[in-house]
Structure 1
Amino acid sequence: MKKIKYSILLLLSILMLGIGACTKDFDKINTDPNKPSNAPATNLLAFSLQDFAANLWDSWGDIDEPESYSGQIAKIQYIDESRYQFRTGTVENMWTYLYRELKSLQVVINAAEASDNTDLQAVATTIQCYIWQVATDRWRDIPYSGALAADSGKLTPKYDKQEDIYPSLLNKLKATNDLFNNPSPSSNVGEGDLLFGGDVAKWQKFCNSIRLRMAIRISDVDPALAKSTIETIMGDLSKNPIIESNADNAFFNWAGAGTADILTDESWYTGLYLGSRLNNYAVSSNMIDTLKELDDPRLPVYANPVLEEKEQTVYRGSIIGLSGTSAPGGLSHYSFIGDFMQTIRQVIRPLCALQKLSLFWPKQPRRDGM
């Protein structure tokens, strides 16, 4: 009998030791190393830059809406957007992408501020303000002041007016320029700077160029604020440097593997060429007719000749907003987007270029208000 009791006690002891051993490293064992809850701030910066360039300037987020609305591109097939018929799923995706990037950048800003990394804080704030402007230009009134506080329980932020968002962004960018002018000793943007490769001086020029862009945008709505902003920047370019040569342009570079990989291929190239969507779009008649009237040498850059005119070079644009499901005359009747425009997009996406400072192409449509 004693032998049985000892055996039971021994077995129970082994079981207890086994349970303790299992629970000791339970959290570690059940944590997926490929899904970290915390990531280096510079990695989040890299994600935000790539995610923004890939999704907000692809064929859905760029051509179908802004390029069509501004009169540069016309739809040949599936011409819903040309008649301002929104696709709910597309709009919701754009919304998700923007706020995902904004929140990621806020995490970067908070981490940089906590570690006194002023350069990283300034860089993240610069691109965040740029994304905020893209969001309000696209939808006008949006959740802004309380939009990034879901982790503190604020799940239904109010919609702020565009008239309040623009001045707030200008104030943020002004304060960000001050950060650039007074960096902390330990400042380091890290390897996540996919835009300028850690060149903080170029980031400061980008920051102030965005300030000028915003001031130009509000010049008809708030001329006093626009005037004071422009005078502050242009009055002291040593403290408020701006983009003054093409060497300082903000280009997002893609590896260009040609494999329809969102991490390597530019989004127009992926959607139009690798995704076989090129036949959906033509250069608009507005664009082509204007270039013809001006005898503008950029016409063959923006557009290809129509395919049906084999004996001569003819450029013909499609009319924006036609009725029906496709433009009449067939695909070969219209000029597609120029080869050069597609070639350059295989490797870069211009976020801010000197020659486009006042419009910051691709141009967002102006709505009532700002």
Structure 2
Amino acid sequence: MKTNKLFKNIVWGMTLCGALCTTSCTSFDELNTDPTRMDEVNPGTLLNPILYETSVYNWKRYNSYTYDLMQCAVSTSSTNGVGWWYMTDSEGDGTWTTYYKWINNAKEMMRLTGKLPEASKQPNYDAISLTLQCWLYQILTDAFGDIPMSEACSADEGILAPKFDTQQQVYQQIIDNLKTANELFDKANGLIYNQSGEMLYKTSKGDATGILKWKKFCNSLRLRALLRVIDVPEFNAKQELRTMLTDPATYPVFESNDDAALLAISGTYPEEAPLTRPQDFTSYVQISEFFVNLLKGWNDPRLQMYATQVTLPDQTKDYVGLPSGYQTLPSITASGLNQEMAKAPMKLAMMPYAEVEFIKAELLKKGVIDGGSSAAKEAYQKGVQAAIEQWGQKMPDHYFENPEAAYDDTLERIMNQKFVALFFCDYQQWFEYNRTGFPVLPVGPGIANANNKMPKRFKYPSALQRTNLKNYQAAKANMGGDDFHIRLMWQQ
């Protein structure tokens, strides 16, 4: 037992500290060639570190980027950060290097299963590997545009300067790979190399019940991908979405919060909270006026989970937001963020169930799938309830009697609720805003007077101009440039 625990810690540590050179993804080269460890590594040793580290990173990026960018929180220490739509050239560098490191580790799962004897093949590891790769690749291409995919993480094949695939190629591969993963999942078997269970759905050698949930995660991600490119003619996304949603036996998707990809972490090593000190979560930042007023307009119980109350001059307590995009810091006492959101035990959102219901609501509202307004209303209400209950709040009995919260057959109403449902879910609020234009965000004087615009993408890391110049230049030419306002194929 002592040896196994030591080995677990070694693998975890090596996974965290693996070296990465742009997209050559060599973090496991040493591990793969070390004869003292080669016989001990298996696909199961990689799964939990991938789940934990990617989810923690995404939580941190929401906290440091998406939160402010999407006018949910407001910094009180700066007037030129991302909350004012001001971007530094290196804003996306960490996303690039971190994601490719973990994509490489997910690919390593498949490499290891490929080395197993035929009688010992484990298709569930291949299916999970493809699912996780697609999850990360979609976020990467939505954040940058053209990216390396077909040649990425191929240092063992001698490819140190991978070509960039176009957005169309990346999306097509994501859609195809998720379909393949769906077919690979074997619900009759668990995960033989995860005897104590993997972190997301607790699937183990002796318990295969989590495999169906993995399959639902896979197909729910495919819904997300197809919706993102629904107006790009090359993908025939509407027909693919109809096929999936009319055949749940073949393409099961999330049906409850119990299915959702919400990674539960305990707060004890090696599942520590993203922030060591919860007080750092609330330093020099207030909840925004826009976000507070949105939730107050719905009489939404999530507000008490997201923010703290302040004492008003008449000694009553209330939630007060700070105007975002200010030019001069307003002299008001505004609500802070609730530290409880940063304390473990907690759940880190990879993909919430509510998102699936809002996808359905949008498709029904647009007539992409049959059912009409009544079915769209039902999906909308299910999405709202799921999002509220995901945060441990009770669904108010008369919530939808409020005209501000009731379904009104508009895309804006669906997207406003989806916006809140994607709270602390990597960059998804940003992506969906750039796809639909909703919610309508305030443009404060500090933003307007600086003539800043909502960024469409990150710039490529400057290191690529040293390590992969030829392919970087080709991608830049194909994209029409490398700045924050280059429109991606699925954006408005």
Whether these two folds match at TM > 0.5 is yes
Q: Which amino acid aligns with 1:197?
A: K
CA separation of 1:277/1:305 partners in 2, compared to 1, >3 Å: closer, same or farther? same
Instruction: Answer 1 or 2: higher relative contact order, Cα 8 Å, separation at least 6.
Output: 1
Match in the other structure for 2:445: none
CA separation of 1:187/1:64 partners in 2, compared to 1, >3 Å: closer, same or farther? closer
User: For the Cα contact (< 8 Å) 2:55–2:263, is it kept in 1?
Assistant: yes
CA separation of 1:319/1:180 partners in 2, compared to 1, >3 Å: closer, same or farther? same
The alignment partner of 2:182 has SS state of: helix
User: For the Cα contact (< 8 Å) 2:286–2:334, is it kept in 1?
Assistant: yes
Determine if the alignment matches structure 1 residue 131 to structure 2 residue 97.
Answer: no
The match for 1:235 among 231, 241, 246 is 246
TM-score (norm 2): 0.59
User: For the Cα contact (< 8 Å) 2:308–2:336, is it kept in 1?
Assistant: yes
Match in the other structure for 1:39: 41
Q: List aligned pairs for 1:1-370, cutoff 5 A.
A: 39-58=41-60, 61-78=61-78, 80-87=81-88, 91-115=92-116, 116-180=121-185, 188=192, 190-191=194-195, 193-198=198-203, 199-222=210-233, 225-257=236-268, 263-267=270-274, 269-270=275-276, 273=278, 276-306=280-310, 311-323=315-327, 327-329=329-331, 333-338=333-338, 341-342=341-342, 346-357=345-356, 358=359, 361=422, 362=425, 363-366=428-431, 367=456, 368=487, 369-370=489-490
Q: How far apart, CA to CA, are the structure 2 residues paired with 1:120 and 1:354?
A: 23
User: For the Cα contact (< 8 Å) 1:74–1:282, is it kept in 2?
Assistant: yes
Q: How far apart, CA to CA, are the structure 2 residues paired with 1:214 and 1:97?
A: 21
Pairwise CA distance, 1:299: 2.8
Q: How far apart, CA to CA, are the structure 2 residues paired with 1:37 and 1:98?
A: 27
Pairwise CA distance, 1:290: 2.1
CA separation of 1:187/1:354 partners in 2, compared to 1, >3 Å: closer, same or farther? closer
CA separation of 1:286/1:222 partners in 2, compared to 1, >3 Å: closer, same or farther? farther
The alignment partner of 1:143 has SS state of: coil
Pairwise CA distance, 1:219: 1.8
Match in the other structure for 2:469: none
Match in the other structure for 1:18: none
Q: Which amino acid aligns with 1:152?
A: E
- Please list every run of at least 4 consecutive aligned residues from structure 1 whose deviation after the TM superposition is greater than 6 angstroms: 35-38
CA separation of 1:178/1:36 partners in 2, compared to 1, >3 Å: closer, same or farther? closer
Q: How far apart, CA to CA, are the structure 2 residues paired with 1:142 and 1:282?
A: 35
User: For the Cα contact (< 8 Å) 2:134–2:178, is it kept in 1?
Assistant: yes
Q: Bigger shift: 193-202 or 278-287?
A: 278-287
Structure possessing the higher radius of gyration over alpha carbons: 1
The alignment partner of 1:252 has SS state of: strand
Q: Which amino acid aligns with 1:348?
A: K
CA separation of 1:150/1:83 partners in 2, compared to 1, >3 Å: closer, same or farther? farther
User: For the Cα contact (< 8 Å) 2:131–2:178, is it kept in 1?
Assistant: yes
The alignment partner of 2:325 has SS state of: coil
Q: Which amino acid aligns with 2:226?
A: A
Pairwise CA distance, 1:310: 7.7
User: For the Cα contact (< 8 Å) 1:254–1:264, is it kept in 2?
Assistant: yes
Pairwise CA distance, 1:340: 5.2
TM-score (norm 1): 0.77
Return 5+ residue gaps in structure 2 as ranges.
1-33, 204-209, 360-417, 432-455, 457-486
RMSD of the alignment, in Å? 3.0
Pairwise CA distance, 1:365: 1.2
Cα distance per residue 1:266-317 (max 9 Å; x no partner):
21x436x15x241233222221122233443433333222367581223222
Q: How many residues are aligned here?
A: 324
Pairwise CA distance, 1:103: 0.2
Q: Which amino acid aligns with 2:250?
A: K
Match in the other structure for 1:28: none
Q: How far apart, CA to CA, are the structure 2 residues paired with 1:181 and 1:86?
A: 45
Pairwise CA distance, 1:89: 5.9
The alignment partner of 2:430 has SS state of: coil
Cα distance per residue 1:195-249 (max 9 Å; x no partner):
1111211100111111111122222334862212212211211111111012212
Pairwise CA distance, 1:189: 5.5
Q: Which amino acid aligns with 2:50?
A: S
Q: Bigger shift: 224-233 or 94-103?
A: 224-233
Q: How far apart, CA to CA, are the structure 2 residues paired with 1:150 and 1:32?
A: 19
Return 5+ residue gaps in structure 1 as ranges.
1-30
Q: How far apart, CA to CA, are the structure 1 residues paired with 2:131 and 2:193?
A: 13
Q: How far apart, CA to CA, are the structure 1 residues paired with 2:315 and 2:194?
A: 56
The alignment partner of 2:194 has SS state of: coil
Q: How far apart, CA to CA, are the structure 1 residues paired with 2:230 and 2:165?
A: 20
